[in-house]
Amino acid sequence: MGKLTDLIKRVGRREPEPMGFGAAVRKSQATMLLVAIAGDRWSRAAGDAVEAGANVVLLSGRPSDKDVSEAVAAARDRACGLLAGDASTEQLLRLKEAGVDFAVLGPNAPAAATVDQKLSLVFELRDDLPDIQLRALETLPFDAIYIDRDGAPITIMRLVELQRIAGLVRKPLFVHVPLDCSQADLVALRDAGVALVGVDMNDRNANDALRKLREMMDTLPRRRVRSDERASVALPRTHGESEDEDEEDDE
């Protein structure tokens, strides 16, 4: 299992609600991943991202094999991937040998990459797809869906679009966010199916934005449990309750 695959599984896990008056106070597990997207000076950007608290480093642009190896080293134990577009299976193998953990593939990448998997895979959704094609993505071995959009404002219509995509592909989403993203924005994105939030390291204040996002992510409130997800908990009956009363309530 790749590092990114493991991280996504961890943030997707639902924490049990604390029970009882004496429940121990403990730090909640992370529910979103912070991704630094480096488009040049890759090793330096990877090092800066790690220092600022990023969980994942995504290399974009055209890094050489040497650039990739240096960036992987600078990312230390973080999951480091490449925006690989339509990379061949041979190119993916070279990335694996260089220590890359995952690849973001576009729609024209060879289908063999999804069968003979060298790396953890993310699908790059470049264009709007009809519902039937989005639903088909559920069966393919992608860990997440990268929605290639700029860090646009987080509006209600954007949430509607994200919820539609997440509901059809049934995979976590990866989106860019503006540098002034608030904690309320993060909660709204998380509720819409977003698990990975990306910041462009080429932005002037990217390091400060990463630190701010890291702090906000570490203090996000628990996920809201929707009515269709709510688990029924069998509580002990108090003295005097009977099954007949339960049946009357059901009627």
Residue 232: the pLDDT is 37
CA atoms within a 13 Å half-sphere pointing along the CA-CB vector of 180: 3
The answer to whether residue 24 scores a pLDDT higher than 50 is no
Whether the model pTM is above 0.85: no
The answer to whether residue 23 scores a pLDDT higher than 50 is no
Residue 15: the pLDDT is 59
226 or 48, which is more confident: 48
Per the structure block, which two tokens stand in for 74? 């600078």
Q: In this structure, what DSSP letter does residue 83 have?
A: E
Lowest-confidence pick of 51-65, 170-184, 230-244: 230-244
Residues listed for the chain? 251
Residue 27: the pLDDT is 53
CA atoms within a 13 Å half-sphere pointing along the CA-CB vector of 150: 4
What would the pLDDT profile of 88-102 be if each residue is shown by its tens digit?
Answer: 989 999 999 999 999
Confidence of residue 234 (pLDDT cuts 50, 70, 90): very low
What would the pLDDT profile of 70-89 be if each residue is shown by its tens digit?
Answer: 999 999 999 999 999 999 98
CA dihedral (6, 12, 16, 17) positive or negative: positive
Nearest-Å Rg of the Cα atoms of the chain is: 21
Q: Work out the average pLDDT over 51-57.
A: 96
Kindly state the percentage of the chain with pLDDT values over 90: 67
Residue 19: the pLDDT is 52
Opening angle at CA 189, ends 100 and 217, nearest 5 = 65
What would the pLDDT profile of 29-47 be if each residue is shown by its tens digit?
Answer: 789 999 999 999 999 999 9
CA–CA distance, 224 with 163 (Å, rounded to integer): 15
CA–CA distance, 196 with 176 (Å, rounded to integer): 9
What would the pLDDT profile of 156-211 be if each residue is shown by its tens digit?
Answer: 999 999 999 999 999 999 999 988 899 999 999 999 999 999 999 988 899 999 99
Confidence of residue 17 (pLDDT cuts 50, 70, 90): low
